[in-house]
Amino acid sequence: MSSTVLAASTGLDFSLAQQLTVVALCALTAFLAHLALAVFNDGLRPFMLDFVQGRTTRSATTAVSFGLSAGFIFGLGAPMALSSGTLNPWLLFLPTDILGLLAPKKWLAPVLGGAWGGVVVFGLKGANDLAHDLPVDFLTALQQMATPILFLFTLFPVLAITKQFGKLLGGLAGVVELALVVLTMKVWPDVFAGAPAMAVGVLLLIGCAVARDVRQRRAAERAAAGAVPAAGEEASTVTSGRAPGGVDPMASLFGASAARLRRHLPLFMVLGAGICLLSQLHVFGGGEATSFLIAKGQYAEAAQVDFYRALGFIPLIATTALASGAYGIVGFTLVYPIGYLLPSPWPALVCGALVFAVEVLALSWIGKALGRLPSVRDSSQHLRGAIGDTLHLAILFGSLMAAHAMGGGLGILIAGGLYLLNEAMGRVVVRMAAAPAAVLVTGIVLNVLHWLHLFTPIKT
């Protein structure tokens, strides 16, 4: 387990090709955000419809984008990048959402986006070196987050199953996952212990959901065949209640959005190629746990983790894209695992382009299929909720371990105290980002205390 503790050693040392890829990709993503063709923040996408249809202004949409993203950029993206030594989508693409929307002219969007890419690849390295040279090195301490994130993340399917299918199935899934983790550690010590457990957990969840949908559809068909109107039970809310006759408003809106995205297929193929290339270069992790796995060179495990994570996001991305006419900057996130696994950049460019083409072309079909699978959509929501819950504990615990590593009890007091204070003040900082942000502040405070001869750095 000690190998997972120190996930990254150097990191953020980019070759020229990697730097150019990041700059070019940030320019492209800002351009697409400017055209309202794609944004990274899933929360922003529903607001894009009003913007596309001209009911809100560019500046109002930019303000929404900034409000939704700022906490995640500084609280999640930046600390994750500094502690893992690899880039992540929050740091790269949330700012390009904002900059692309902010740009009043079409040509300015890629310029601003590219400039942000430059700031990240050159500036982050400088910040990284500077922080490592301080008497109290809080970046090395932040690597303490890797272990709790990696191991607790393993449990997210169990939480999702418990919430959706009850205590019995949830408890069963928990026992199965734990047994698999122990087995993996014993039999395949080189494999990330959580990977097989996570695989089984997610398959179990999807299996239960599909089974429930099939059962309910059969029951509905039987009820329809018997011409007995369904009683007003909770289950009858599923896909019922559509107004008889007339055009289904969902179908017409979804159709128009899908057509808008299909018109820009070549641009999306370039985007897919770029995202897949970035993943292939192994300087980028798409998910919370992945950054640390990529930093350690465990690409197969990273691919697996991001593949399961994608299952939690595909329905959200598909429905918000169909409702708003703006796609996800990273698509269904399926190009991440493909990129990690590919051996060289050229196949990554080709595969990325093809995957995005298929995704955009299949969007209406996916929307229709999801309409018939309410339990699967529920599962994806529960998966995202569970990812949030596991990460909340993992990040809080990892942050306190980091605070302990750099300042002992005093570190825990300051970081934990700042976290509790934020809670007491009604969560001014997003809960997920509060602990890492508190660690950064603690690092600065400890350095100041050291400078005042009030604190002696802890030797490790």
For residue 397, the tally of other CB atoms under 10 A from its CB is 17
Binding to another protein (CB under 8 A) within 251-290 occurs at 253
CA-based end-to-end distance of the chain: 18
Near another protein by CB under 8 A: residue from 427, 448, 454, 456: 427
Report whether 144 contacts 5 (CB < 8 A): yes
Smallest gap from Cβ 359 to another protein, in A, equals: 18
Near another protein by CB under 8 A: residue from 189, 234, 452, 453: 234
Q: Could you tell me how many residues of this chain bind another protein (CB under 8 A)?
A: 47
Report whether 307 contacts 19 (CB < 8 A): no
Classify the C-alpha dihedral 369-373-376-380 as positive or negative.
Answer: positive
For residue 428, the tally of other CB atoms under 10 A from its CB is 11
424 touching another protein, by CB under 8 A? no
377 touching another protein, by CB under 8 A? yes
Helix (H, G, I), strand (E, B) or coil at 166: coil
373 touching another protein, by CB under 8 A? no
Which of the ranges 6-14, 135-143, 245-253, 438-446 carries the binding residues for another protein, by CB under 8 A? Answer: 245-253
Spatial distance between the Cα atoms of 128 and 293, rounded to a whole number of angstroms: 19
Near another protein by CB under 8 A: residue from 12, 136, 295, 322: 322
Helix (H, G, I), strand (E, B) or coil at 201: helix
Say which amino acid occupies 439. V
381 touching another protein, by CB under 8 A? yes
Smallest gap from Cβ 212 to another protein, in A, equals: 14
Spatial distance between the Cα atoms of 197 and 174, rounded to a whole number of angstroms: 9
Q: Which is nearer to another protein, 199 or 253 (CB)?
A: 253
241 touching another protein, by CB under 8 A? yes
Q: Does residue 327 come out as left (phi exceeding 0), alpha (psi in the -120 to 50 range) or beta?
A: beta
Binding to another protein (CB under 8 A) within 135-174 occurs at 163
Provide the 8-state DSSP code for 237: G
Near another protein by CB under 8 A: residue from 388, 397, 412, 441: 388
Smallest gap from Cβ 373 to another protein, in A, equals: 11
Which of the ranges 143-151, 239-247, 291-299, 396-404 carries the binding residues for another protein, by CB under 8 A? Answer: 239-247
Smallest gap from Cβ 163 to another protein, in A, equals: 6
Alpha helices in 281-373 (DSSP H): 290-295, 299-324, 335-341, 345-372
CA distances from 431 to 75, 163, 233, 438 (A): 9, 21, 36, 11
**Any idea which residue has 């382009």 for tokens?**
353
Contact letters (x/-) for another protein, 27-66, by CB under 8 A? --------------xxxxxxx-xx----x--------x--
Phi then psi dihedrals of residue 186, to 5 deg: -80, -45
Provide the 8-state DSSP code for 176: H
What would the two tokens of residue 45 be?
A: 């996408």
Q: How many CA atoms lie within 13 A of 323 on its CB side?
A: 13
Q: Which is nearer to another protein, 101 or 124 (CB)?
A: 101
Smallest gap from Cβ 312 to another protein, in A, equals: 10
Spatial distance between the Cα atoms of 112 and 114, rounded to a whole number of angstroms: 5
Smallest gap from Cβ 428 to another protein, in A, equals: 9
Q: Which is nearer to another protein, 20 or 70 (CB)?
A: 70
Which of the ranges 26-34, 107-115, 241-249, 406-414 carries the binding residues for another protein, by CB under 8 A? Answer: 241-249
Contact letters (x/-) for another protein, 199-228, by CB under 8 A? ------------------------------
Spatial distance between the Cα atoms of 108 and 110, rounded to a whole number of angstroms: 6
Provide the 8-state DSSP code for 428: S
Which of the ranges 11-19, 216-224, 373-381, 411-419 carries the binding residues for another protein, by CB under 8 A? Answer: 373-381
Binding to another protein (CB under 8 A) within 81-110 occurs at none
The footprint of another protein (CB under 8 A) covers: 41-47, 49-50, 55, 64, 67-68, 72, 163, 234, 237-243, 249-250, 253, 316, 319-320, 322-324, 370-371, 374, 377-378, 381-382, 384-385, 388, 426-427, 430-432
